[in-house]
Structure 1
Amino acid sequence: MGLIDTVTEVLSASTTRAPDEGGDDGSSGAYWCDDCGVRVRDVAVDEEGLDRTGDGTPRCPDCGGEMRFERAAGSSCAC
């Protein structure tokens, strides 16, 4: 195998994610409580059983305050 083939193989392997490292679960971001620092991914709000405001925004499970939505900056996580 030549040097160029080796470099190409290494670079393509470094951008491939293993199946158990997450995936496309439909997440667009996460809800944050600025007062408590609590973070809940948008796809986990219902399974966490969070209360919601009148417009559907989740309330913080710790303090009850309205949480802020923040979109994921990259395509591989909602953080």
Structure 2
Amino acid sequence: MRSKVEPMKDVARLIRRHFDGIVAWTQTRQTNGFIEAINGLFQAAKRKARGYARFETMRTVLFLIAGRLNFARFNEHAR
């Protein structure tokens, strides 16, 4: 790098490291927020399904959390 200013060199390195992501964002305008939200749902499902070993059970709990179903219509004891 030709700059003698160290903070500018740091910025140039940062842009080089993240160049592919910067280009992808300019083309799609999408962030990783959606993936982070799905990850949060999955982490919540893991906490609620603690002790279950089968993936099918984890998937069911994940769908129940993501679907936000209102069980109060069917069971007055449901929260």
Question: Normalising by the residue count of structure 1, what TM-score does the alignment of the two structures yield?
Answer: 0.32
Q: Quick check: which one's strand share is greater?
A: 1
Q: Quick check: which one's helix share is greater?
A: 2
Question: Normalising by the residue count of structure 2, what TM-score does the alignment of the two structures yield?
Answer: 0.32
> Which structure carries more relative contact order (alpha carbon 8 Å, separation 6+)?
1
